């Protein structure tokens, strides 16, 4: 429970102590979500700089080195500062309520795992103002750019990444301990909500994947300062070793950022379809299959590095195989909606957009999985379009849908549905205007991570920049809606969104979890 400040302490000090020392899962969930939203705008501001630079060819108002620094930190901040903390915040808020647990299993460690994050990102952002250059080698930090030629600020980036890894692993341990030990009587694992299943599997992925990244950046540190040659060909090392280590972490990381989103969509779709989730057990098996396969497909990022033909075929077939459980999930979501009593409130709109846009990202991923085709696509803006469809239209849209879905439960107020719908349509249209043209830029041969480009690419780049700026501006409406809902609004009912899974926020009874209710009127 939250520690109460001493009665003699008033005002700001009591407020600071309440949030600094809290062990309440709802408070910590709020801290994660607030921090995520803040870093989302920091990373988004960097994206605006990138798109402003690329809107018109030949601009010189930002130097190439500064541009590379912005590109590097934009990727790291959006992944580790915006998407992942948002999902952890949703887990902190909802898992104890869904499972009937009094709190997270390890509340003090929960507090610690959050407060590591601000220090980590302070160190990471500090690299921009340190003497010399900031990290300028891309968010993947490939050697030898980050080792032999990396600026001094690279060491601070390595420390920040270690802190982020510690935070992620502590949070994952806490989630696993909560799910396995604090479920209400009668709630077996197979009766858990899909969101809880998505996070249970994600937590194991985090514990398995983050040490790989920690090992890779530690070897970077040793190469830079202790005379080793892990990634230095002149000393007998191999720069490709870093790529293997990074993508052994990097591809599971992609699914760390999407599996909780699958769980969210699996909660929203049944509610607004007034039906039970179709093929529920197969959804669980599909999530588990994706998690296992995610550790076996890292090599598809390295088709152009000269790996053996048999290895290329192995990674190509496994990458195409991972589309099967993903397809099962999409089929089951559509099956849930089939002949359902659908309504299209804002959470449902974000869920439908997730399915449509994530599928586009999946199809472009299949194109990248084919070895001879990847030789042409690799390193182009086609890849940029692909992973932004997965992470923005996928992970970010699922987070926004979750906030609209659960914020009435959190605040006791309904959000303004009209504002929510306006925010959705602005986001949906602008995200496609921003990223769909990048497919054509990539197919036409425009390389990624370049500060300038040839004139024939100008029209599509201008279109992408317009879409990006509209998307960024529309998120101000999202923040306004959140503040407005926290401050007041129509009172929310006890059940909020009722439906096939409408009891997911109450302490479960030993009765089966999925008990269908008569669909009431949706406010």
Element containing residue 520 per DSSP (H, E): none
Catalytic residue among 32, 93, 255, 333: 255
Q: What is the pTM of this model?
A: 0.92
274 is catalytic: no
What pLDDT score does 194 carry? 95
Check if 449 is active-site. Answer: no
SS3 content of the chain, % helix, strand, coil (to 5): 70, 0, 30
- Judged against a pLDDT cut of 90, whether residue 514 lies above it is answered with no
On the question of pLDDT at 325 being above 70, the answer is: yes
Q: Is 167 a catalytic residue?
A: yes
Report residue 513's pLDDT band, with 50, 70 and 90 as the boundaries: very low
Region 371-382: mean pLDDT is 95
Q: Are 99 and 181 in contact (CB under 8 A)?
A: no
Residue 356 to residue 393: CA distance in whole angstroms? 9
Contact 342, 272 (CB under 8 A): yes
User: What's the confidence (pLDDT) of residue 509?
Assistant: 36
Q: Which of 244, 276, 448, 523 is catalytic?
A: 448
Q: Which of 113, 168, 248, 319 is catalytic?
A: 168
Res. 445 pLDDT band, cuts 50 70 90: very high
Buried b or exposed e, range 187-216, using 16+ CB within 10 angstroms: beeebbbbbbbbbbbbbbbbebbbebbbeb
In the predicted model, is pLDDT for residue 520 greater than 70?
A: no
CA angle 100/102/105 to nearest 5° reads 105
465 catalytically annotated: no
pLDDT of residue 451: 94
pLDDT of residue 523: 35
Q: What is the mean pLDDT of residues 334-341?
A: 94
Q: Is the dihedral of CA 445, 446, 448, 452 positive or negative?
A: positive
Q: Select which of 300, 386, 409, 439 is catalytic.
A: 300
pLDDT score of 515? 35
Q: Confirm if 462 and 441 have CB atoms less than 8 A apart.
A: no
The residues pairing with 380 across neighbouring beta strands, listed in sequence order, are 447
Active site residue 493: no
Reply yes or no on whether 74 is catalytic: yes
Active site residue 423: no
Quote the CA–CA distance of 215 and 475 in Å, as a whole number. 36
Mean pLDDT, rounded, for 164-171: 96
Q: Does the annotation mark 191 as catalytic? A: no
Q: What is the mean pLDDT of the chain?
A: 91
**pLDDT of 92 higher than 90:** yes
The owner of tokens 């920690």 is 214
Given a cut of 50, whether residue 357 has pLDDT beyond it is yes
pLDDT band at 498 (very low <50, low <70, confident <90, very high): low
Q: For 465-488, write each residue's pLDDT tens digit.
A: 999 999 999 999 999 999 999 998
Q: How confident is the model over 179-232, as pLDDT tens digits?
A: 999 999 999 999 999 999 999 999 999 999 999 999 999 999 999 999 999 999
Catalytic: which of 25, 53, 74, 423?
Answer: 74
329/282 Cα distance (integer angstroms) = 8
Active-site hit among 162, 251, 423, 439: 251
SS3 sequence of 311-367: HHHHHHHHHHHCHHHHHHHHHHHHHHHCCCCCCCCHHHHHHHHHHHHHHHHHHHHHH
344's tokens: 């299209």
Q: Could you report the per-residue pLDDT of 276-300, keeping only the tens digit for each?
A: 999 999 999 999 999 999 999 999 9
Catalytic annotation on 139? yes
């Amino acid at each position: 429970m939250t520690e109460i400040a001493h009665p003699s302490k008033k005002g700001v000090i009591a407020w600071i102590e309440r949030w600094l020392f809290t062990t309440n899962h709802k408070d910590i969930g709020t801290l994660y979500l607030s921090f995520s939203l803040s870093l989302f705008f920091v990373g988004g501001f960097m994206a605006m700089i990138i798109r402003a630079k690329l809107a018109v060819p030949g601009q010189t108002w930002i130097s190439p080195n500064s541009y590379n620094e912005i590109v590097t930190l934009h990727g790291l901040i959006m992944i580790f500062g915006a998407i992942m903390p948002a999902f952890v915040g949703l887990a902190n808020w909802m898992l104890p309520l869904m499972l009937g647990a009094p709190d997270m299993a390890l509340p003090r460690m929960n507090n610690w795992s959050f407060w590591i994050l601000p220090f980590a990102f302070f160190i990471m952002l500090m690299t921009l103002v340190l003497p010399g250059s900031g990290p300028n080698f891309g968010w993947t930090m490939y050697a030898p750019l980050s080792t032999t030629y990396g600026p001094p600020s690279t060491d601070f980036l390595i420390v920040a990444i270690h802190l982020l890894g510690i935070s992620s692993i502590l949070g994952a341990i806490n989630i696993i301990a909560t799910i396995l030990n604090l479920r209400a009587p009668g709630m077996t694992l197979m009766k858990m909500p899909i969101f809880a299943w998505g996070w249970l599997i994600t937590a194991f992925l985090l514990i398995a994947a983050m040490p790989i990244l920690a090992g890779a950046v530690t070897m970077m540190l040793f190469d830079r300062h202790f005379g080793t040659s892990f990634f230095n060909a002149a000393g007998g090392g191999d720069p490709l070793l870093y790529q293997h280590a990074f993508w052994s972490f990097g591809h599971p990381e992609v699914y760390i950022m999407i599996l909780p989103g699958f769980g969210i969509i699996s909660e929203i779709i049944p509610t607004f379809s007034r039906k039970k989730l179709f093929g529920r057990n197969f959804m669980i098996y599909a999530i588990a299959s994706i998690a296992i396969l995610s550790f076996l497909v890292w090599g598809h990022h390295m088709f152009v590095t000269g790996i053996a033909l048999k290895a290329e075929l192995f990674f190509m077939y496994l990458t195409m195989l991972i589309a099967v459980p993903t397809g099962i999930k999409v089929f089951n979501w559509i099956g849930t909606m089939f002949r359902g009593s659908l309504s299209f409130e804002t959470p449902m709109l974000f869920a439908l957009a997730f399915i449509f846009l994530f599928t586009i990202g999946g199809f472009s991923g299949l194109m990248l999985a084919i070895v001879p085709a990847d030789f042409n696509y690799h390193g182009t803006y086609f890849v940029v379009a692909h992973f932004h469809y997965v992470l923005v239209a996928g992970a970010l849209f699922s987070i926004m849908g979750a906030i609209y879905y659960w914020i009435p439960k959190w605040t006791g107020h309904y959000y303004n549905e009209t504002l929510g719908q306006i925010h959705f349509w602005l986001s949906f249209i602008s995200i496609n205007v921003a990223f769909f043209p990048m497919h054509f830029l990539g197919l036409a041969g425009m390389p990624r991570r370049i500060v300038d480009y040839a004139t024939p690419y100008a029209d599509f780049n201008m279109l992408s920049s317009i879409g990006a700026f509209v998307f960024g501006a529309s998120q101000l409406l999202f923040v306004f809606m959140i503040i407005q809902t926290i401050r007041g609004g129509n009172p929310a009912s006890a059940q909020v969104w009722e439906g096939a899974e409408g009891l997911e926020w109450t302490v479960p009874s030993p009765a089966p979890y999925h008990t269908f209710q008569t669909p009431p009127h949706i406010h």
